[in-house]
Amino acid sequence: MRRTGEFLQDLGKALMMPISVIAAAGIFLGLAAALQNPAIVGESIIHAEIMQQVIGFIRKVAGALFGNLPLLFAIAAAIGLARDEKPTAALAAVIGFITFHVGVNYSLLAQGLTPQTTSVAALIEKGYSQTDAVMYSAEFASTLGIFSYQMSVLGGVIAGLVTVILHNRFYTIKLPAAIAYFGGRRFVPIITVIVLPIVGVLMSLVWPFIATAIIHLGQFIGESGPFGTFIYAFTERILIPTGLHHILNETVRFTPVGGMVHVDNESVIGALSIFNYALAHPGALADDVVREATRFLAQGKIPVMMFGLPAAALAIYRCAKPEHKQRVKALMMAGALASFTTGITEPLEFSFIFVSPLLFLFHAVMSGLSFACAQLLEVMIGNIQGGLIDFMVFGVLGGAKTHWWFDLLLGAIWAPAYYFSFKWIILRTNARTPGREEDEEPLAAAGNSEGDAATGQIIKGLGGAENIQHVDCCFTRLRVKIKDMNKVDEKTLKQSGASGFIRATDSDIQVIYGPQVESIASAVKQNLLVQQTQ
């Protein structure tokens, strides 16, 4: 069970690697779409040849990223889960991904399934109805020019996971002297070429059953309407402390659970994929189709991220003891600004998640209701973050069809609901939110301390350099593998600016610092490296 928890934590972190790139590419696509909307920029821009060439170039680049997401996820899974020699793991993942689909292709050809025999026209000739022919043909796709099953991102993750298992097992292998040259890290691509095609053949035999199960789950969620959307959003918030919300999100964004459409003999799978396809191919998808996908995306987050949580931050500040309000003000303002502008919420969430389960439950319910209400009001705002940037680019600049004003209306309701509910619960239950703790040690804002002193304090709080096995980070969390959890001093970490902690497993701790965690992680790694060389 412990190893399973560690694996899921590491997998969730690994899957976040390509998401930041996709989110940025989505923003560029959103801006490009706005620049092709005559209602926003006027007819003169629409007919400006140079401008349209630039927009076309942006669409091509972004489209290439979205079209190769499975490969990106295969590489990300391998890099994120490799114990060492990560460049070797990345190369092996590319090889593994290609040979995996070659194995699938060989199996399909042996079954008489080819691009010709699975085309819509050929299937109709065999007696399929138009709908059945389209649905069956959509189960297949060309992946890097290889005819294979349409596995989307899940296929990439499977290939990446098998590859990294081989990598971690064999990257230190020693071979007999005669063939010693092929040992160690050179052996990883070799064993990958041998194993992954076999895995591809085996996967081709079980994939139809997996695909059917996923499609049925997606159909159930779709038929559940706003209730299904509420369950998704509520569960996603509940999983925040575990870090497993990333896996749930990627399932909705890139598998049939989040929707599947067929257009121009091509299958587009997952909520985020559908939305980005609509941006890259204006007019290719009906607004109702896109709106059905965006119910899982940014539109449901905006009332919470831009209005609800900043109001909660104000309530926490107002409830702080007078002598601590100044330091709490700095913390809450930083967290509220991050939530409002970018949709990064963990610095705020971890100020109350563990000290008051009632506040956390209220937050999760309100998040679910926000998603459900946005769907009922037919809002159509995509991307993944849910802050001001997404609201402006994909909402306001998306035009009237996005119904962006309904998110403002919901925000006007969510802000006072959060403020008064948080204030009442904090005072009624005497919740130990920032500024109300029994331990009144001074608390620094993350990143306010300078240089080696702050880094040294973090290392000390983690039990010292000798207690640290590995340091990494995601959007807001410093993720550390340690030897002895008992040596971790949360008080010291809190003084360094941490807003919360997750002891994910017996050897994994996540320390919440906020958007600046990337620089914090780099500083800690450099400090540890210096200590190792002394």
Give the active site residues: 474
The separation between CA 444 and the C-alpha centre of its own chain, rounded to angstroms, equals: 29
Q: What are the C-alpha distances in Å from 277 to residues 107, 250, 273, 494? A: 30, 17, 6, 43
Q: Could you tell me what percentage of the chain is helix, strand and coil, using 3-state DSSP and rounding each to the nearest 5? A: 70, 5, 25
Q: Classify 175 as helix, strand or coil.
A: coil
Structure-derived torsion over alpha carbons of residues 225, 230, 233, 238, reported in degrees to the nearest 10: -140
Decide: 253 and 270 in contact? Cβ < 8 Å.
yes
Please give the Cα distance from 305 to 303 (Å, whole number). 6
Q: Is 472 helix (H, G, I), strand (E, B) or coil?
A: strand
Q: Which amino acid is at 164?
A: V
Q: Report the SS3 class of residue 465.
A: helix
Pairing of strands 260-263, 477-482: unpaired
The tokens of 469 are what? 């096995």
> What's the CA gap between 381 and 370, in Å, rounded?
13
Rounded Cα distance, 446 and 350, in Å: 13
Cα 313 to Cα 93, 195, 259, 282, distances in angstroms: 43, 52, 35, 39
Cβ neighbours of residue 11 closer than 8 Å, sequence gap 6 or more:
77, 80, 81, 161, 247
C-alpha count within 13 angstroms, C-beta hemisphere, residue 143: 26
Among 207, 142, 209, 153, which Cα is nearest to 16's? 153
Helices (H), ranges, 322-450? 325-342, 346-349, 357-376, 388-390, 405-429
Secondary structure of residue 148 in the 3-state scheme: strand
Distance (Å, rounded) from C-alpha 436 to C-alpha 422? 14
Taking the CB of residue 18, how many other CB atoms lie within 10 A of it?
Answer: 23
